[in-house]
Amino acid sequence: MTMVTDTGVSAEEREAILGAVREFADTELAPYAIERDEKHVFPRESLHRAGELGLGGIYVREESGGTGLSRTDTVAIFEELAKGDPAVAAYISIHNMVAWMIDTYGDDAQRGQWLPKLTSMAEFGGYCLTEPGAGSDAANIATSAVRDGDDFVLTGVKQFISGGGEAGVYVVMARTGGPGSGARGISSFLVPGDAAGLSFGALEKKMGWHAQPTRQVILDGVRVPASAMLGDEGRGFAIAMSALNGGRLNIAACSLGGAAWALDAAVKYVHERVAFGEALAEMQSVLFTIADMRTELQAARLMVRDGAQAVDEKDPDATMRCAMAKRFATDAGFDIANKALQLHGGYGYLQDYGVEKVVRDLRVHQILEGTNEIMRLIVGREMLRPSGSATQQRGGAS
């Protein structure tokens, strides 16, 4: 009898999917990760091949051309991808978030126009929320969208946009309401990458994530038809926030993958390295460190799975559980990678070993998709609501 998971995919199918992803990571990502990092190479061809595997629309519905997998299966996929290269895996995560938004909130025409290109990764997606003056305070974005007949005219600057200058479509959050309208005055638009008036800043010089481009996206009177609005007017902020539950899980899973790779590298190294006439693997301090790294990794993995399950089940605590998972897993992932570097000693600081790259790549996961301070704010506010005791009970029983 074939066992079927609670997400509708049989255990055999799930293992086959993860096996294919693992092979892709081993052949298309891992062998080139250090070179792409050093030379700042955006791996377009490898991403096209990822699309051929169905990795461009992992949780886009099958009827829309996606793979239609659950969030529980999705986080397992991103963990495997990040073992090959966390920077590339993280970009695939952002691309998937864009495709999911169009599938979930778009109309038939929008889905028909963009999803075939995105799910195949023939074209890439960009998510444009953050601005130079509105990072964590996203409800106060200043980019405007002014109605002009049958069109909207968009003006403003978006900051820290992954895939900037490479994407075929950008989901842009812009203010359609007047001053002081806050979150309720924000709408979402689909802006083609070749739109007149759209330009891009210089490549940002970053600590990590060198294999994906990050630029400002500059909208100077970009005109789009009213039909390019994604969802209803004034719902853009809610749409952006709904996408972040999945985005936070994905980036947490990327931290798991990078940390798992670093832990494996550390285990291999301490077996090979001898100091003071003794293998590092035989030293109690090293043994304890490895044990703590493995324990933290497993705890983080379970929290990410819990958040994914909450999204799959549409649990009322899903946002809080995703925030907890994102905060815990990205903190743990960076800590594990940093400990792996320390166990390598001076060699960990050298680029040839790849550990310092993973440390640099994972550091930004504590910042993007909502900083970990914002994750604490989400959890704390939820717990201290008047109904907090009921929330606690639901969270404890999950």
Return the active site residues: 369
Taking phi over 0 as left and psi of -120 to 50 as alpha, with beta for the rest, 221 belongs to left
Q: How far apart are CA 348 and CA 356, in angstroms?
A: 6
At residue 390's C-alpha, the angle toward residues 387 and 392, to 5°, is: 110
Q: How far apart are CA 266 and CA 278, in angstroms?
A: 16
Tokens of 17: 């999917």
Dihedral (CA of 10, 13, 19, 24) sign: negative
Residues 177 and 186 sit within 8 Å (Cβ to Cβ): yes
Tokens of 280: 């590092």
- For 63, which DSSP code? G
The number of residues in the chain equals 398
Q: Which residues contact 158 (CB under 8 A, 6 or more apart)?
A: 128, 129, 130, 131, 143, 172, 216, 217, 218, 219
Q: How far apart are CA 279 and CA 260, in angstroms?
A: 22
Tokens of 114: 């963009």
Q: How far apart are CA 353 and CA 261, in angstroms?
A: 12
3-state secondary structure of 173: strand
Q: What are phi and psi of 291, to 5 degrees?
A: -60, -45
